[in-house]
Amino acid sequence: MESQAFSASFGDELSRCATMIERYIVSLVNVAYYACFHKQNEDAPATTAAAKSTAFKETRDRLLALAVRAEKLTSSEKIGPADMKGLVCRDFLQELHCCSQVANNELLQVLNHENTEPISGYEGPPPLSKIPTHLRNCTLGFVQIFHFFRKLPVQEQYHISALQARVLERELKTDLLGPWTRQVETLHSTIGWILLSDSHFQQKLNEYKSKTQAEPGALAFNEWLRYEIRQ
């Protein structure tokens, strides 16, 4: 069915979808890292700081397990509809949603604390308040993609005409993947900018650069963030 009905461009969209899922997961890890290691948590009593560190590591490990599943597709030479249907399944959606909720709840605690008990001499980046909306948009977009693949027939007994295939390809590319890509990219770039502009994390980055032979600019930031997340 895949070779007869769907065009090669549909395979490109499937690859793009798998790549964006990986990017979405990375963005969620970054949000969880920022929230759990925010200045207010690291300045809190040791028990609170330890609990936040544990919460991050648990969420990180769950997300990285999902990333491994997605990477199996992005590293393959060809991705078919059945492959994506197998990846974007109910348990994948539920686990991703649960991790997003954890990151969002941790971030809301940070935002609430900033509003009620601001830290003297410290001000969080203004775009921080927009992250919960970005998280919600990304979740809703992924749910729509999940429903698309859930309804996509891949068994051999189901025949899809060339016209039906074109309609499905257009729906995935234009109606679903296009908007969701923009949502994920917005989340990814916003949390990246927040990490770069937050004085607390700038200090962490500067300490890392002083101890290592990190490359300048964005490369140093990426190296530092990978180091922090893997600890």
Non-local CB neighbours of 39 within 8 Å, separated by 6+ positions: 119, 122, 198, 200
Q: pLDDT tens, 18-28?
A: 999 999 999 99
Query: Model pTM?
Result: 0.93
Local confidence band at 158 (pLDDT 50, 70, 90 cut-offs): low
What pLDDT is attached to residue 2? 46
**Nearest-angstrom CA–CA distance, 21 and 18:** 5
Terminal alpha carbon distance of the chain: 46
- 79 has pLDDT over 60: yes
Q: What is the mean pLDDT of residues 120-146?
A: 93
- pLDDT confidence tier of residue 157, bands split at 50, 70 and 90: low
pLDDT of residue 153: 82
**Integer angstrom CA distances of residue 156 from 2, 14, 151, 196:** 9, 19, 15, 50
The ranges assigned to domains in the chain are 2-197, 198-231
Q: Which fold has domain 2-197?
A: Fumarase C; Chain A, domain 2 (1.20.200)
Q: What does the block give as tokens for 118?
A: 């601001």
